[in-house]
Structure 1
Amino acid sequence: MLEGVNVALGVTGSIAAVKTVELAHELRRQGASVRAVMSGSATGIIHPWAVEFATDNDVVTEITGSVEHVELCGYDGWADVFVIAPATANTVGKIAGAVDDTPVTTTATTALGADTPVVIAPAMHEPMYDHPGVLEAIDTVSAWGVEFVDPRVEEGKAKIASEDAIVTDIARAAGDRPLEGDHVVVTSGATGEAIDPVRVLTNRSSGKMGREVAKACYVRGADVTLVHGLVGPRSITSDGAVAQTNPDGTVSYATLRSVESADAMLEATREACTDADTLVSVAAIGDYTVDSSAEKIRSGQDLSLSLEPTPKLIDEIRDDHPELPIVGFKTETSGDEAAMIAQARETLERAELAFVVANDASVMGAEQTNALLVHDADAARFSGSKAGLAGEIADSIATLLESELTDTA
């Protein structure tokens, strides 16, 4: 996600500074080069040697005659983005007032003056985060174009955001934004149809692909609505077992609408699409529903279920929005490429889709995928990670919307 990106990492005196090593490692795993700047208070919490080890670069702990702040974040500076993680209330207030009394605040002022993108991940006790002056400082700095990664408010603390959330916002700040101003709706996960109060008909979808698509569109500048269903039955050790980025059930890269049934997913998607520029229908929506029993069905008896078909979401949305670009997904179990393409083309033509992503059901819950992007005239093959495929899909959407904008100009 951050291949070739130079990240200057500012560390301030929050106890969350202990997470700096993990964050630096994750930035490097995502392809970034990292150089750190630490305030004096931060060095009292985590030793600069630990940060040097994590970044594989010398750490700036004071501004000297080498003008480290300018070399990092000035005009033509080394950094593509300056991220402060964690940022204390004190640091945010100083940045808002252009107070430069630590290496971190001095580097922040330099970055803002040089139009180097800045990302701030606050971490403090909740009453400090709710202080009117702190909120005013956040609003002031946000108005200058600084991206804030919202903290996780738990146990009376505004805890630093997850590494995934910080990395995602850094990628958004540092990259091009071809989907800036566009609203992308993504459906994801499985649906479940209640048989009784404790049993459901569902499928094995983990929602991983849909979440990666939502994230890729967000990184490219889009406002994203993620309509997310259930996570299909998987073992607790499976990669697909945990659906959400944050422990509080939210995601940092999208407005999340959690649903269960196919009908609920259709209604939430229909509402989200009233002002959408694109719909990406990734969810594995159940094809059948059943009349639900109000009481738990007792075990040990012969039982037959009468199944009724559910509405096709893309067909319903197409009827509501004849001009809306829609990307469909088609999952097959045959393993026959020709059959997959044929089924994808049938869906493409029936619902007048922009393109269809066809893959085999064996990729459900996996990190890797083999897929076909089926357009009107061709079928492009993709093999790699789901995150990589999501990037291809987001880039295709950006090209599609740009082409439509050109055609209407």
Structure 2
Amino acid sequence: MLEGVNVALGVTGSIAAVKTVELAHELRRRGAEVRAVMTDSARSIVHPWAVEFATDNDVVTEITGAVEHVELCGRDGWADVFLIAPATANTVGKIANAVDDTPVTTCATTALGADTPVVIAPAMHEPMYDHPGVLEAIDAVAEWGVDFVDPRLEEEKAKIASEEAIVCEVARAAGDRPLEGEHVVVTSGATAESIDPVRVLTNRSSGRMGRAVARACYVRGADVTLVHGVVGPQSLERSAATEIPASVPYADVREVESATEMLAATREACLGDGTGNGTHETGADALVSAAAIGDYTVETSDEKIRSGRDLELEFEPTPKLIDEIRADRPELPIVGFKAETSGDESTMIDRARETLERTDLAFVVANDASVMGADRTKALFVHEKDAARYEGTKAGLAGEIADSLVAILGDDRPD
């Protein structure tokens, strides 16, 4: 996600600075090169040696005659993006007023003047975050084009955002954002059909592929709605204060269970409601249907079915989501997924083309069902006249899908 990206990491005097070492490691795991800048207050919380170890680079703790701020964040400077994580109320206020009395604020002023992208992850006690002056400073700096990673409001604290959220925002800031202004709807996970209040019919999908696609589209600048299937009481990890799934900071998430619920939520997201309240008024610009949606449902028993007796279930087909959305939006670019168990490549291509032609899809990603729940995958990009192989991580496949959407939506844009 951050391959080839140089990140200057500013660390200020919030107690959340204790998370800096792991954040630096995560940035590097995602491919970034990292160099850190620290305030005196931050050095009282985490030792520069620990940050040097985490970044594998010398740490800037003062601005000297070497003009480190210009070398890092100036025009033609080393950094592709300047990330301040954590950022205190004090630091945000100084940045808003061009006060340069720490290495971090001096780098921030330099980056803003040089049009180097800046990302800020605030962390402080919640009453400080709610201070009118702090909120005004955040608004002012955001108007300059700075991207803020919203904190998690828990236990009367504005805690620093998750590493996932910070990494996604850094990748989005450092990239070209070719999907900016586009609304992409992605379905993910498994649906479940209730047999009785205890039992369900479901499948083995983990939702990793769909979440990876949503993340890749967000990094490329899109607004993303993720319609995610969950089974029973299981759901994505949620932030206690916001009710937004903390593990999916890159999308507006709609959690559903049954195939009917997934169709309804996807239809709402694709059509838009005209109010701007929770959905885009004009609906989706593209749909990626990566969820493993159950093909059949049953009549649900109101009471638990007792065990130890013969049981027959009468199956009824569920509506095909992509067929229904195609009827609603004839012009919408839709990417379909087709899972097969045969392992035969020609059969996978033939089945994918049947779906492609039936529903007039942009393309179909055909894969073997054995990859469900795994980090790596094998897939075929099936178009009307050709097919291309992919083998690698699901994140890599998601990037290929997002790049294909860039080309498709770019072709649809007026000159």
Equivalent position SS for 1:263: helix
Equivalent position SS for 1:7: strand
CA shift for structure 1 position 231: 5.7
Question: What does residue 355 of structure 1 align with?
Answer: 363
Tell me the distance in 2 between the aligned counterparts of 1:384 and 1:79.
29
1:324 aligns with one of 332, 350, 353 = 332
Question: What does residue 52 of structure 1 align with?
Answer: 52
Tell me the distance in 2 between the aligned counterparts of 1:62 and 1:286.
59
Residue 259 (1) aligns with residue 261 (2): no
2:374 aligns with one of 349, 366, 390 = 366
Post-superposition Cα deviations, 1:155-198, rounded to whole Å, max 9, x if no partner, equal 22111111111111100000111101100000000011111122
Tell me the distance in 2 between the aligned counterparts of 1:129 and 1:301.
60
Is contact 2:192–2:231 with CA below 8 Å preserved after alignment?
no
CA shift for structure 1 position 298: 2.0
Tell me the distance in 2 between the aligned counterparts of 1:151 and 1:228.
23
Is contact 2:232–2:257 with CA below 8 Å preserved after alignment?
no
Residue 314 (1) aligns with residue 326 (2): no
Question: What does residue 197 of structure 1 align with?
Answer: 197
User: What is the 5 A alignment of 1:28-43?
Assistant: 28-43=28-43
CA shift for structure 1 position 30: 1.1
CA shift for structure 1 position 359: 0.1
Post-superposition Cα deviations, 1:70-93, rounded to whole Å, max 9, x if no partner, equal 110011111000000011111111
Tell me the distance in 1 between the aligned counterparts of 2:88 and 2:308.
60
Is contact 1:206–1:231 with CA below 8 Å preserved after alignment?
no
Post-superposition Cα deviations, 1:322-372, rounded to whole Å, max 9, x if no partner, equal 000000000011111111000000000000000000000010010000000
Residue 83 (1) aligns with residue 83 (2): yes
Equivalent position SS for 1:327: strand
1:270 aligns with one of 260, 264, 267 = 267
Residue 158 (1) aligns with residue 158 (2): yes
Question: What does residue 301 of structure 1 align with?
Answer: 309
CA shift for structure 1 position 242: 8.1
Residue 134 (1) aligns with residue 142 (2): no
Is contact 1:8–1:34 with CA below 8 Å preserved after alignment?
yes
User: What is the 5 A alignment of 1:147-296?
Assistant: 147-230=147-230, 243=236, 249-250=245-246, 251-274=248-271, 275-296=283-304
Tell me the distance in 1 between the aligned counterparts of 2:366 and 2:88.
47
CA shift for structure 1 position 249: 2.4
Is contact 2:187–2:210 with CA below 8 Å preserved after alignment?
yes
CA shift for structure 1 position 216: 0.2
Counterpart of 2:18, as a letter, is V
RMSD over aligned Cα atoms: 1.6
CA shift for structure 1 position 299: 2.0
Tell me the distance in 1 between the aligned counterparts of 2:232 and 2:190.
6
Q: Per the alignment, do residues 180 and 242 of structure 1 end up closer, same or farther by CA in structure 2, a change over 3 Å counting?
A: same
Is contact 2:192–2:257 with CA below 8 Å preserved after alignment?
yes
Post-superposition Cα deviations, 1:257-314, rounded to whole Å, max 9, x if no partner, equal 1111111110110010021100000000011111111122222222111111100000
CA shift for structure 1 position 202: 0.8
CA shift for structure 1 position 151: 1.3
Tell me the distance in 1 between the aligned counterparts of 2:370 and 2:236.
19
Post-superposition Cα deviations, 1:198-248, rounded to whole Å, max 9, x if no partner, equal 221111100000000000000000000000011699xxxxxxx98558686
Equivalent position SS for 2:195: strand
Equivalent position SS for 1:228: strand
2:411 aligns with one of 380, 389, 403 = 403
Equivalent position SS for 1:266: helix
Tell me the distance in 2 between the aligned counterparts of 1:157 and 1:68.
33
Tell me the distance in 2 between the aligned counterparts of 1:92 and 1:263.
46
Equivalent position SS for 1:305: coil
Counterpart of 1:262, as a letter, is A
CA shift for structure 1 position 153: 1.6
Question: What does residue 277 of structure 2 align with?
Answer: none
Tell me the distance in 2 between the aligned counterparts of 1:55 and 1:107.
18
Question: What does residue 237 of structure 1 align with?
Answer: none
Q: Per the alignment, do residues 231 and 7 of structure 1 end up closer, same or farther by CA in structure 2, a change over 3 Å counting?
A: farther
Question: What does residue 401 of structure 2 align with?
Answer: 393
Question: What does residue 107 of structure 1 align with?
Answer: 107
Q: Per the alignment, do residues 213 and 245 of structure 1 end up closer, same or farther by CA in structure 2, a change over 3 Å counting?
A: farther
- Consecutive unaligned residues of structure 1, counting only runs of 5 or more, are 234-240
Tell me the distance in 1 between the aligned counterparts of 2:237 and 2:380.
27
Tell me the distance in 2 between the aligned counterparts of 1:403 and 1:271.
25
Equivalent position SS for 2:69: helix
Counterpart of 2:401, as a letter, is I
Tell me the distance in 1 between the aligned counterparts of 2:33 and 2:40.
23
* Alignment TM-score, normalising by the size of structure 2: 0.94
Tell me the distance in 2 between the aligned counterparts of 1:131 and 1:140.
14
Query: Which piece of structure 1 moves more, 63-72 or 316-325?
Result: 63-72
Equivalent position SS for 1:119: strand
Is contact 1:332–1:361 with CA below 8 Å preserved after alignment?
yes
Is contact 1:230–1:259 with CA below 8 Å preserved after alignment?
yes
Query: Which piece of structure 1 moves more, 92-101 or 295-304?
Result: 295-304
Counterpart of 1:126, as a letter, is E
Is contact 2:254–2:265 with CA below 8 Å preserved after alignment?
yes
Query: Which piece of structure 1 moves more, 365-374 or 85-94?
Result: 85-94
Question: What does residue 238 of structure 1 align with?
Answer: none
User: What is the 5 A alignment of 1:337-356?
Assistant: 337-356=345-364
Question: What does residue 5 of structure 1 align with?
Answer: 5
Equivalent position SS for 2:357: helix
- Consecutive unaligned residues of structure 2, counting only runs of 5 or more, are 272-282
Tell me the distance in 2 between the aligned counterparts of 1:159 and 1:195.
41
